[in-house]
Amino acid sequence: MLISADQIGHQFAGQLPLFRNLTFRLSSGDVVALTGPSGSGKSTTLGILAGWIRPSEGRIERFGAGRTLWVFQNPHGVPRRSSLSHVMLPFLAAGLSRDEAEDSAQRILEKFGLAQLSNSLFQDLSGGEAQRLMLARAVAASPSLLLVDEPTAQLDSKSASTVIDVLGDLGMNGAAVVIATHDARVRDACDRTIDLGAF
């Protein structure tokens, strides 16, 4: 187990409580949807999991010392760099040789349906491809906790489908993955759901 949250709740100063009595566990390889109406506290919960926000109630415990990565709504890449170089970078940073980094990156690009775009520049990718690349790069960095904020919010339905196709692969390097989303198709692609609307 990676994270255990027991009866957590949060209330910003001067506001009504957002949610209370939220209890869940996260383990390596879990891919979990975090759902709930706008304003129900999804981003706040990601902030709690990232350690940026201390819940005003309850207890959150972390086990192990892995890193946490956050993938934002808008894909941020380097315009004139190739897909391959984006995914190689975390492997190079981890000390792999160029050949090893390239092999590992190619494997992940394949998993994420981007193999044929490995030499394409980031600036030439579609919205869905760019978002998939951000997810692939995050997986390449082997986080123990991967937080994903609304991965389909900026995308048309076709691009969103290509992103949804890869969500199941996000846990492949052992990360626990939490995806804040309004999108029922994203929710259905995850192993389980934490619904803030129920609190």
Ligand X SMILES: Nc1ncnc2c1ncn2[C@@H]1O[C@H](COP(=O)(O)OP(=O)(O)OP(=O)(O)O)[C@@H](O)[C@H]1O
Residue 169, helix vs strand vs coil:
helix
Residue 100, helix vs strand vs coil:
helix
Q: Quick one: which of 22, 30, 40, 135 contacts ligand X (CB under 6 A)? A: 40
- Rule CB under 6 A: is residue 55 a binding residue for ligand X? no
Task: Read off the tokens for 76.
Answer: 């941020």
CA distance 1 to 33: 18
Residue 58, helix vs strand vs coil:
strand
38 vs 119, beta carbon nearer ligand X:
38
CB atoms under 10 Å from CB of 174, counted, come to: 14
Question: H-helix or E-strand containing 75?
Answer: none
41 vs 77, beta carbon nearer ligand X:
41
# residues contacting ligand X (CB under 6 A):
11
CA distance 105 to 89: 9
- Rule CB under 6 A: is residue 42 a binding residue for ligand X? yes
- Rule CB under 6 A: is residue 12 a binding residue for ligand X? yes
- Rule CB under 6 A: is residue 44 a binding residue for ligand X? yes
Task: For the segment 91-120, give every residue that binds ligand X (CB under 6 A).
Answer: none
12 vs 63, beta carbon nearer ligand X:
12
| Least distance between ligand X and beta carbon 170 (Å) | 20
- What residues line the site for ligand X (CB under 6 A)? 12, 15, 18, 36, 38-44
